[in-house]
Structure 1
Amino acid sequence: MDYYRTLGLSRGASGEDVRRAYRRQALRFHPDKNKEPGAEERFKEVAEYGEEGERRRR
């Protein structure tokens, strides 16, 4: 899966946009805040792709 799409971004997004989108999605799907089925799995996906985006940003 494309981490830009996971974070709701286009491929041309800046590093700052990636950081903001990661934080927004992480808060949205965090298991302590979202008890819906699948939220924890989605949170893990977002976290994984957020980390990948951070590595690419450097």
Structure 2
Amino acid sequence: MSDHYAVLGLTADATLADIKKAFRQKASSYHPDRNTSPDAPARFRAVQAAYDVLADEASRQAYDDNRRRNLLDDPLESAQAIWQTYFDTVLEQTPR
């Protein structure tokens, strides 16, 4: 799984305007009509895929949730949130 934020040169707290701006810059830079590098088409497709995911609110939410589950953001914070959710669930189900 590629990191869509890294492809666009952004952090996870980027706004939609930041995403659009980064997409326009990267797409222009890697467009095969402008860039004759052999890896330009692949990089252009990666930029397009990243934009498609991050520009759509539902897709971005699902992607961000998956990043957290895979501990890509902050591993310690993600692990603590996972365990806290688990313990809250277990304690709710435990008879008193």
Which residue pairs with 1:34 in the alignment? 35
Which residue pairs with 2:10 in the alignment? 9
Question: Residues 4-30 of structure 1, C-alpha deviation per residue, up to 9 Å, x if partnerless?
Answer: 111000111111000100110000000
Q: CA RMSD in A?
A: 1.1
Which structure 1 residue ranges, 5 or more long, are not aligned?
A: none
Q: Number of paired residues?
A: 57
Task: Provide the C-alpha distance between the structure 2 equivalents of 1:22 and 1:51, rounded to a whole number of angstroms.
Answer: 10
Point out which structure has higher relative CO (alpha carbons under 8 A, 6+ apart). 1
Which structure 2 residue ranges, 5 or more long, are not aligned?
A: 61-96
How does the TM-score come out when normalised to structure 2?
0.57
Task: Provide the C-alpha distance between the structure 2 equivalents of 1:37 and 1:2, rounded to a whole number of angstroms.
Answer: 22
Which residue pairs with 2:48 in the alignment? 47
Task: Provide the C-alpha distance between the structure 2 equivalents of 1:20 and 1:49, rounded to a whole number of angstroms.
Answer: 13
Choose between structure 1 and 2: higher helix proportion. 2
Percent sequence identity is 35
Pairwise CA distance, 1:42: 0.4
Larger-gyration structure (1/2): 2
How does the TM-score come out when normalised to structure 1?
0.91
